[in-house]
Structure 1
Amino acid sequence: MKTIQTHRAMALALAALLAGCAGAPPRPPGVVDINLATLNDFHGNLEPSRLTYTDAAGKTRTVTAGGIDTIAAALQAWRKEDRELLLVGAGDLIGASPAISAMWADETTLGAMNRLGLRATSVGNHEFGSGRLELLRQQKGGCVSPRPEKACKFEPVWPGANFQYLAANVIDMVTNKPFLPAYKIEQAHGVKIAFIGAVVKDTPSAVLASGVAGLQFTDEAQAINRVLPELRAQGVHAYVVLIHQGGRTASALDRPDCPDLRGDVVDIVKKLDPAIRVVVSGHSHKGYLCRVDGRLVTQAEMGGHVMSRIKLSVDRASGKVVGESARNVVLEQGKHPADPAMDAYLRTVRERSGQVLARPVARVAVAAMELSEDKADEFALGDVVADSQLYAARGYGAQIAFVNRGGIRLALSTGADKVATLGQLQAVLPFGNDLEVLNLTGAQIYALLEEQFMGGRAGSRGVLQVSEGFGYQWDEKRPEGARVVPGSVLLHGVPLEPDSSYRVVTNHFLAEGGDSYPTFTRGASRAPTAIRDIDALAAYLARRDQDGKPAGAAVAAGRIQRIK
């Protein structure tokens, strides 16, 4: 009887085993899985923050996610599953960063990426934010920087990035060769994989023109395809594109194989060589796992809240990718055992940064000055920043200040005491742009204002914020190129004269035509001030506080009137 029961138990166990395997097709012989983890648009977010998202089940969730400690803990756990997992990125890992990174020339973030074991990343437009020479310094190491007040202040000497920045479509016009390597070949489980990098080709419109002088940004797909023969000659037949360009979808960030991706990245993917099966994207700050013409296209949100885990199935004999899948993982705090080394590093960064950033600057009028929800509107914080730049440039004869909305990254929230700290101000203006003064005629100012509304850009990049004493009306029902109401552009209540010259102050980014404002480049009698926007804001707030008239308001001043 015991023997019969034993045989019956064995039969049931075998049946259960076979049933468990029924859903999984037999693994082809000679196929190996390569595991990737990807980041994009980290933007120096060393600390965790709040993330609200809708999951594939349609449930809206709000969690505390990200931070280098959380990322390190997750990678530590995943590497226990596969010690040869490769961490790669899709650009904008630095730039537009919180003060804890920005105040150290982003060297704290680059140091964290070294510690995380990042292998390669495409360069992003923000990596060019301080110019090509600074990017090369961050890559190779050293302290000769256009930002001497920040560079090599966290460590005595910046040793350089252990990972490789990639940019197949950025050409040095002197050498006619890629400014950065086009690709990096890695090896895992005995298989070679080439990571090919590219950056959005309109990067020059988003950064200082002088910072990318001598560089040509070419078509992304053509540049990527161009390197494949070279890779094949080296015996590499598995390719992953890391591109700082993205799209949008209505699908949840963790929905597999979403079919509705749209945006610039879609056209690029459709033009890629058929051998490229996986594209890791960035730039649009959206999480998605989509298919475009059968190819896998991923993005992992932004700020380190999410990482994409990608599995490549590669045939050992041919070296080609024969299957690919991915999932987006929200990096909630506490899900994995801590990485003590990274916890210690973050603690050091916080302590050293906190000593500087906690310094009080001035009392302001309201506890919170938010950014407008509609980017085509004026907002109170924009008024204050514009006023601070006009105040800073008064010695240069400035009459009007213009500020791009994209340069104001976060709201100013001080708490009940209404005292703004240096750290809070640096979070508002993280770029440290110098101010420049120039002359524009009244006709040129009208043209500048119309440039805000070309191609519907006001809704995406925002209208320019303007200083006290200047204002105008615009009518969204009027045709493009004629939306500014004639006669409505006033300076201290007086209409601008088309042929009269006016002294304007703006940041150096806009002065060089950034954000697609070419009229700024036509300004005459240009005068660089060497005054940083963050210093102008701090000085203005302190002066107003000292005068007993703290700056700020809960609502915009009504300088820009929108007729709907």
Structure 2
Amino acid sequence: MIPILKPLAALIGLALAGTATANCTGNITIGEDSSQISTAVANKTVGATCLNNLIIDTEAEGANYRNHGEFVARLSKQVTGWARQGILRSKEAAELRAAGARSEVGKTLKVRVIAFNDFHGNIDGADLNFTSPVDGIPPRTPAGGVDYLAGLVKQLKASAPNNVVVSAGDLIGASPLDSALFHDEPTIETMNRLGLEFNAVGNHEFDEGREELLRMQNGGCHPTDANSCQGNSVGTPYPFEGARFDFLAANVMDTASGKTLFPAYGVKNFKGNRVAFIGMTLKGTPSIVTPAGISGLAFKDEADTVNQLIGKLKRHGINAVVVLLHEGGLAPGSINGCAGVSGPIVDIVKRLDDAVDLIISGHTHQAYNCTLPNSTGRTIPVTSAGAFGRLLTSIDLILDTRTKDIVAVSAMNKLVDRDNVLHAADPIKPVDEISVIVANYQALAEPIANRVIGSITANITAVRNAAGESALGDVIADSQLAATAPPDKGGAAIAFMNTGGIRADLTYAGSTADEGDGNVTYGEAFTVQPFGNSLTIKTLTGQQLYDLLNQQWAAGQYADGGRTLQISNGFTYQHTFVPKVSPLGANYVCDGSLKLNGVAIDKSASYRVTMNSFLASGGDNYSVFNLGTNQLGGDVDLDALEAYLHANPGGITPGSQDRIRNVAACN
């Protein structure tokens, strides 16, 4: 902790030690900037130090008082001691006491909030990069990695004695193999050492269900997977220690108990000035996670939940309120800009109680630094640090130590700069302890990750065309159909794949030492499909297939067509939906356009259909899948992709993207 005032013994020692003499000029001042008070007391030399420099009353010197009264009392004690030593006359001491009493010192306190979101278990930053020419960040600048993230956190803490580190959700889930193989225990362990204090749950925290999420908080080994609890091999405690930080879930209710799954908020006390951090996920979480994993949980409206907590916080004397919200918006442009902001965050903020001082958001993987109007029209700061730990947000709060409220906020998104391209003057140094843990987990995962499972002939990307179809979506749907088409495997004729389950591209160069050969490693395939969903085969009628496809544009889905189902070879259809133009809630599939191997789908006939377990229980709001009958379980989705690669030794070619057609009008 930074000392409040130089002790008198140290001062006397300074006066007696050494021969160097400070050249002290002018008079003593109290405070800083526009509120600075000048006195008539000369700035005297005391040994090698100036008297003015012994009064800690500026940020530069480390002023850190719980309130104005503490500064006045400590200054009075200090100058009284100087008067007794003959350094000051009584009149001079009195003037300094009076100046201190009139000053602003201690009336405010600076607190630094260090924030990030959507980390998704990206503990290794070796292959991560970030580009933002408008911010002076060159293309593919190396960025990220939990050890470098921790290094920047440490750097930002050094200049702010009052600090807190927070995350706005999706800390875990949809993670790379070196974290996911071990059920994201590496992420929790390294975040413990980074100093994370509060994490709002996001939708991906629920990927493996509530019991697994509770294990992430409380610790202990996974009940069935031997890859869990690798502490003895990587240098962390055995069994798995669990999170030393708090998961927060203000709007996630256990319907049986009526209580929140995790605490609604956490409070940190900064020298008697308390700040509440309310944490929550988006209310739409049930539509984008496996329903079975959240059985018995209810997800409440974000703004309503916050507003209902304000009274409780005020009754506890807490006026400073920060919301960690796993929901966000879109704001293209600078990482510290807010150009054309749109999305759910705008409406949520517009409905918030005026007591909320700051929103730290996430979910959309966008980087922005906004101010948005609340329910009273007052603008409040809203930030997001992109995704994968490549950026973090440094936010300075100014607290009024009398009212205990936040009176000013300044925020800045910063690059976690691995090559110190933008940090040459103050380079980020990775935290060695964390680097070692990451390296040890990588050594365990490497034999699995580097195993070649097949090849591709060119880049196969998840980028969708105007109709909503991607080349990689085609390939994955085909692999799932191949795994379930045999009669003893389900006899499927059609396979569907959700776009949200495709997390990366397959690139011809790959990321192995044999770049440029088209080889696909298990690690690369895992990055594409990290959820471990099992395949499910059900019987649907032709009419249900029409109904299913029209659910792509039902109310509550993405207006940009972001949830378009990917379909297997042989199945085709046409639609008239135009992303960002056509209104949601209408039917856009052209009647009579659904065909299987060129033959029109019979609405009264039955068809065997494959989907993953996420879709099978109504994920992404596709409730029609729940209507399927004669259910049969199949292989894990990643195993199906591996088998498909093995079955095509000449290499998989990109999908043709001609199965879904967007037409101006139905015939």
Aligned mates of 1:193, 1:36 — CA distance in 2: 11
Letter in 1 for 2:640: A
Give CA deviations for 1:465-513 in whole Å, capped at 9, x if unaligned. 1112222222347997443233221112221111111011100111111
1:95 is displaced (CA, Å) by 1.2
Structure 2 counterpart of 1:461, which letter?
Answer: G
User: Equivalent residue for 1:178?
Assistant: 260
Q: Is the 8 A contact 2:113 2:166 kept in 1?
A: yes
> In 2 relative to 1, CA 253–111 (structure 1 residues): closer, same or farther, beyond 3 Å?
same
Shift of 1:414: 4.2
- The answer to whether the 8 Å contact 2:110/2:162 transfers is no
Q: Paired residue for 1:448? A: 548
> 1:452–1:458: 8 Å Cα contact kept in structure 2?
no
Look up the equivalent residue of 2:537 and give its one-letter code. Answer: V
Pick the aligned partner of 1:33 from 110, 116, 120: 110
Partners of 2:552 and 2:655 in 1: how far apart? Answer: 22
Name the residue aligned to 1:6: none
- Is the CA contact (8 Å cut-off) linking 2:168 and 2:199 kept in structure 1? yes
Report what 1:534 is aligned to: 638
Q: Secondary structure at the match of 2:250?
A: coil
Aligned to 1:45: 122
1:464 aligned partner, one-letter code: L
C-alpha RMSD over aligned residues: 2.7
How big is the shift at 1:253?
1.5
Aligned-residue offset at 1:386: 0.9
Give the number of the structure with larger relative contact order, counting CA–CA contacts within 8 Å between residues 6 or more apart.
Answer: 1
Contact 1:367 1:417 in 2 (8 A): no
What is the letter of the counterpart of residue 522 of structure 1?
L
CA distance in 1, matches of 2:383, 2:36: 24
Query: Which deviates further from its counterpart, 41-50 or 402-411?
Result: 41-50
Extract unaligned runs of 5+ from structure 1. 1-8
Partner Cα distance (1:76, 1:89) in 2: 16
CA–CA distance in structure 2, aligned partners of residues 375 and 192 of structure 1: 51
Look up the SS of the partner of 1:178 in the other structure: coil
Conserved in 2, the CA contact under 8 Å of 1:296 and 1:324? yes
1:313 to 398, 408, 412: 398
Query: Aligned-pair distance for 1:217?
Result: 0.8
3-state SS, counterpart of residue 515 of structure 1: helix
Q: Give the distance between the partners of 1:496 and 1:24, measured in 2 at CA.
A: 80
Instruction: Assess, with a 3 A threshold, how the Cα gap between structure 1 residues 204 and 149 changes in structure 2: closer, same or farther.
Output: farther
Distance (Å, rounded) in 1 between the aligned partners of 2:504 and 2:333? 27
Structure 1 residue identity aligned to 2:546? Y
Deviation at 1:165, TM superposition (A): 0.8
Q: 2:356 aligns with which of 272, 276, 286?
A: 276
The Cα of 1:297 is off from its aligned counterpart by 1.0
1:405 matched residue in structure 2: 499
How do 1:172-251 and structure 2 match up within 5 A?
A: 172-251=254-333
Q: 1:325 to 1:414 in 2, by over 3 A?
A: same
How far apart, in 2, do the equivalents of 1:291 and 1:224 lie? Answer: 18
Residue 148 of structure 1 corresponds to 225
Q: CA contact under 8 A between 1:104 and 1:154: conserved in structure 2? A: no
SS of equivalent to 1:350? helix
1:427 counterpart residue number: 527
> Contact 1:123/1:167 (CA < 8 Å) preserved in 2?
yes
Per the alignment, residue 465 of structure 1 pairs with 566
Aligned to 2:429: 337
Q: Are 1:507 and 2:507 an aligned pair? A: no
> Does 1:372 pair with 2:445?
no
Mapped partners of 1:526, 1:280: distance in 2: 42
Contact preservation (8 Å) 1:55, 1:61: no
Change in 2 beyond 3 A, CA 1:329/1:199: same
Distance 1:150 1:492, change over 3 A: farther
Determine the C-alpha separation between the residues in 2 that align with 1:23 and 1:237: 25
Is 1:134 the equivalent of 2:225? no
Label 1:231 to 1:23 Cα distance change in 2 as closer, same or farther (>3 A): closer
Asked if structure 2 preserves the Cα contact closer than 8 Å seen for 1:39 and 1:88, the reply is yes
Q: Supply the distance in 1 between the matched residues of 2:456 and 2:400 (Cα, whole angstroms).
A: 65
Q: Which amino acid aligns with 1:319?
A: K
User: Which residue, 568, 571, 575 being the options, matches 1:474?
Assistant: 575
| 1:244, distance to aligned residue in structure 2 (A) | 0.6
- Summarize the Cα distance change of 1:360–1:233 in structure 2 as closer, same or farther, 3 Å threshold: same
CA distance 1:184–1:65, change in 2 (3 Å): same
The equivalent position to 2:197 in structure 1, one of 116, 119, 122, is 119
* Aligned residue in 1 for 2:74: none
Distance in 2 between residues matched to 1:93 and 1:343, nearest whole Å: 18
Report deviation, 1:42: 0.8
Retained in 1: the 8 A contact 2:332–2:339?
no
- Mapped to 2, the partners of 1:163 and 1:85 lie a distance apart of 15
Question: Residue 250 of structure 1: CA displacement?
Answer: 4.0
**TM-score normalised to the size of structure 1?**
0.90
Residue 292, structure 1, aligned to residue 397, structure 2: no
Instruction: Specify the SS of the correspondent of 1:277.
Output: strand
Q: Give the Å deviation of 1:193.
A: 1.4
Gaps of 5+ in 2: 1-22, 38-102, 233-237, 374-378, 421-426, 510-515
Quote the offset at 1:266 in angstroms.
Answer: 2.0
Q: Which residue of 1 aligns with 2:480?
A: 389
Alignment of 1:53-92 (within 5 A): 53-55=132-134, 62-92=140-170
Instruction: Tell me, in whole angstroms, the C-alpha distance in 2 between the residues paired with 1:429 and 1:275.
Output: 42
For 2:230 and 2:24, locate their aligned partners in 1 and report how far apart those are by CA, in whole Å.
67
Partner Cα separation in structure 1 for residue 618 and residue 267 of structure 2: 37
Which stretch has the larger CA shift, 29-38 or 481-490? 481-490
Task: Within 5 Å, give how 1:509-524 maps onto structure 2.
Answer: 509-524=614-629
The residue type paired with residue 432 of structure 2 is P
Change (3 A) 1:443 1:195: same
Deviation of the 1:91 alpha carbon: 0.3
Instruction: Name the CA shift for 1:492/1:272 in 2 (closer, same or farther; >3 Å).
Output: same
Residues 87 and 24 of structure 1, relative CA distance in 2, 3 Å threshold: farther
Pick closer, same or farther for the CA change 1:355–1:189 going to 2, 3 Å: farther
Q: Deviations over 1:274-325 (max 9, x none)?
A: 1211111111111111112221111111111111111111122322112211
Deviates more, 1:287-296 or 1:186-195: 186-195
Identity %: 37
- SS of equivalent to 1:194: strand
Please state whether the residue corresponding to 1:412 is helix, strand or coil: coil
Change (3 A) 1:188 1:365: same
Give the corresponding residue for 1:5.
none
Q: 1:27: how far off?
A: 5.0
What is the CA–CA distance in structure 2 between the aligned matches of 1:321 and 1:22, rounded to whole Å?
20
Look up the match of 2:187: 109
Number of aligned residue pairs: give it. 543
Match of 2:588 in 1: 483
1:114 offset after TM fit, Å? 1.0
**Equivalent residue, structure 2, for 1:3:** none
Give distance in 1, aligned partners of 2:331 and 2:446: 39
State the TM-score, normalized to the length of structure 2: 0.76
One-letter code aligned to 2:630: S
SS in structure 1 at match of 2:626? helix
